[in-house]
Amino acid sequence: MSEGHRIIPISPASFRRRAARLPEKDQQGASQVAPTEGIASFAESTDTPPLDQRGRPLRDLRISVIDQCNFRCGYCMPKEVFHKDYVFLSRDELLSFEEIVRLARVFVGLGVEKLRITGGEPLLRKGLEELIKELSALKTRANQPVEIALTTNGVLLAQKAKALRDAGLDRITVSLDALDPALFRQMSGIEDSAPATVLAGIDAAQAAGLKVKVNMVVQKGVNEGEILPMARLFRELGHTVRFIEFMDVGNSNDWSQDQVVASSAVIAQINAHFPVLPVGRATPNEVSERWRYNDRPVEIGVISSVSKPFCGHCSRARISSEGLLYTCLFASSGFDLRQAVRTETDDQILARIIHGIWTQREDRYSELRESLMAQKKNRPQTRAKIEMSYIGG
Ligand code: SAM
Ligand code: SF4
Ligand code: SF4
């Protein structure tokens, strides 16, 4: 590989397909997310783990294994956009397990210590346990086992928890936005869904020996009333719930600032019933700030991407299920690692490509959100961004 090798950021297939179906004026917007310039050049060496332009290391890799989902959460995959004719990625477009493992090995060589499997709904990917088994054999640069986590909506968890654990999965995050059955159905967008299914999945995960956390996206005017019931239940069960501010990811969810419940309000509400004390972050690059109940060793967490951005220590890279690398959840374009992994036989070359991309990274979208919103009259949805269901949480 010559030093002049370049890798060009491109937009995902889903953008390109949607662009083709959009009216002409919107197609122009979509084409802007497929820049043909903007280049990551090679670093000289991969012996030293890369630091980005803001001095941040590469520590976490989130791997989306599928862009499809069995839910249609309004804040992520609203039915009007992700309808029955929506074209998801084909099997050929997805990275194979072999390709994922190879890329993961290269990332781990560059300093990644945690892998998170996500989607879409990752439990819909057939044979996922085989992938987890392969990934769990990886060792960090310090020769420690790589931590393997997975985020799921929990629908298929009761039947899969034990096999996932046996394959080497360490921890699981289960998304649950409401305990009230009617509200749960409304938020999942699926008529025959039920919180009891997710709760059974959580029980099965715990019984299988997985460390469990619960994610709840809080949307003003939708599920604020579920904050206390969720806190109450999971402090009894002993699982951490992480309350997530509704984020302006993607362009489908019709986000606006006035639908966000600030984490400070969530904590105040819980504290008034079940007093909590701040614990801070376990590590600077952790996304959630933690609090502990005064009367028991159970924690809650808040993820405050909107009210209190945490880009300063962001060490996360993401790979879409078709193999595009994104250095920010709010990116417009990614770097085509699928082509690289399918054409380059030498892992050193892949390492140099990724090293070069990370070294040039400048992302800090959440820190810039307010000023971007001011420019766009509080509607940053006018900027083209990848969808959460495409890249994973
Ligand atoms: N389907 C799996 C699930 O729901 O757990 C994994 C993928 S999902 C995209 C990952 C996480 O992103 C979930 O916890 C989900 O609640 C969260 N999420 C999706 N859209 C969001 C948004 N607009 N704001 C905040 N969190 C969001
Ligand atoms: Fe599916 Fe997860 Fe998105 Fe809900 S948040 S639609 S479960 S990918
Ligand atoms: Fe990281 Fe981008 Fe989120 Fe900031 S906005 S924390 S850079 S993913």
Q: How many domains does the chain contain in total?
A: 1
Exposure string (b/e) for 37-52, b if CB count within 10 Å is 16 or more? eeebebbeebeeebeb
Residue-wise pLDDT tens digits, 162-218 = 999 999 999 999 999 999 999 999 999 999 999 999 999 999 999 999 999 999 999
List the residue whose alpha carbon is closest to atom 7 of ligand 3.
Answer: 364
Question: What is the distance, to the nearest Å, from the Cα of residue 293 to the centroid of all Cα atoms in its chain?
Answer: 27
pTM above 0.85, yes or no: yes
Q: Is residue 7 part of a domain?
A: no
Q: Give yes or no for residue 38 having a pLDDT over 60.
A: no
Ligand 3 center to 372 CA (angstroms): 15
Domain assignment of residue 186, given as a range: 12-391
Please check the confidence at residue 6 and state whether its pLDDT lies above 50. Answer: no
Give the CA distances from residue 292 to residues 169, 172, 190, 206, 305, in Å, rounded to whole numbers and listed in that order: 26, 20, 34, 20, 20
In a domain, 182, yes or no: yes
Question: Cβ(324) to ligand 2 under 6 A?
Answer: no
Q: Does any domain span residue 2?
A: no
Ligand 3 pocket, residue 330 CB under 6 Å: yes
Which ligand is closest to the CA of 53, given by its number? 3
Predicted local confidence at residue 393, as pLDDT: 76
At 364, is the secondary structure helix, strand, or coil? coil
What's the CATH number where 177 sits? 3.20.20.70
What is the average per-residue pLDDT within 137-159?
98
Give the per-residue pLDDT at 260. Answer: 97
CA–CA distance from 282 to each of 169, 286, 289, 299, 329 (Å)? 21, 7, 8, 12, 22
For ligand 2, mutation pick of 14, 62, 69, 155 (most atoms within 8 Å of CB): 69
Q: Among 63, 73, 116, 388, which is best to mutate for testing ligand 1, by the most ligand atoms less than 8 A from CB?
A: 388
CA distance 121 to 152: 6
Q: Compute the average pLDDT of residues 275-292.
A: 95
Contact 102, 346 (CB under 8 A): no
Q: Which atom of ligand 3 is nearest to the CA of 310?
A: 6
Best probe residue, ligand 2, of 177, 389, 390, 391 (max atoms within 8 Å of C-beta): 389
Q: Looking at residue 261, what is its pLDDT?
A: 97
In terms of pLDDT, which residue wins out, 10 or 278? 278
- First vs last C-alpha separation in the chain: 34
Q: SS3 for 36?
A: coil
Per-residue pLDDT averaged across 96-123, rounded? Answer: 98
Q: In the structure encoding, which two tokens stand for residue 369, read together?
A: 């959100």
Average pLDDT over residues 298-324: 97
Is a pLDDT exceeding 50 seen at residue 152? yes
Residue 392's pLDDT is what? 80
Report the 10 Å Cβ neighbour count for 141.
12
Q: Is residue 4 part of a domain?
A: no
* pLDDT the model gives residue 14: 58
Q: Is the CB of 121 under 6 A from ligand 2?
A: yes
Helices (H), 213-300: 227-237, 263-273
The answer to whether residue 105 is domain-embedded is yes
For residue 76 and ligand 1, the question of a CB distance below 6 A is answered with yes
pLDDT of residue 20: 38
CA distance 143 to 145: 7
Which tops the pLDDT comparison, 134 or 373? Answer: 134
Q: Is the CB of 120 under 6 A from ligand 2?
A: yes
Residue 355 has pLDDT above 90, yes or no: yes
pLDDT > 70? residue 31: no
Residue 288 Cβ contacting ligand 3 at under 6 Å:
no
Is residue 393 lining ligand 2, measured as CB closer than 6 Å?
A: no
The ligand 1 atom nearest the CA atom of 305: 25
Atom of ligand 1 at shortest range from CA of 173: 5
Q: How confident is the model at residue 285 (pLDDT cuts 50, 70, 90)?
A: very high
Which residue puts its alpha carbon closest to atom 6 of ligand 3? 311
pLDDT band at residue 298 under the 50/70/90 scheme? very high
Q: Is residue 1 part of a domain?
A: no
What is the per-residue pLDDT for 214?
Answer: 98
Q: How many CA atoms lie within 13 A of 62 on its CB side?
A: 24
Q: Is the CB of 153 under 6 A from ligand 1?
A: yes
Give domain status of residue 5, yes or no.
Answer: no
Q: What is the pLDDT of residue 7?
A: 55
Pairing of strands 289-293, 299-303: antiparallel
Which tens digit of pLDDT belongs to each residue from 42-97? 444 678 999 999 999 999 999 999 999 999 999 999 999 999 999 999 999 999 99
> What is the average pLDDT across 324-334?
95
Q: 3 lies in a domain?
A: no
Tokens, residue 195: 């919180």
Protein residue with least CA distance to atom 3, ligand 2: 76
CA 356 centroid distance within chain = 23
* Ligand closest to the CA atom of residue 152: 1
For ligand 3, atom 4: residue with the closest CA: 311
* Cβ of 328 less than 6 Å from ligand 3: yes
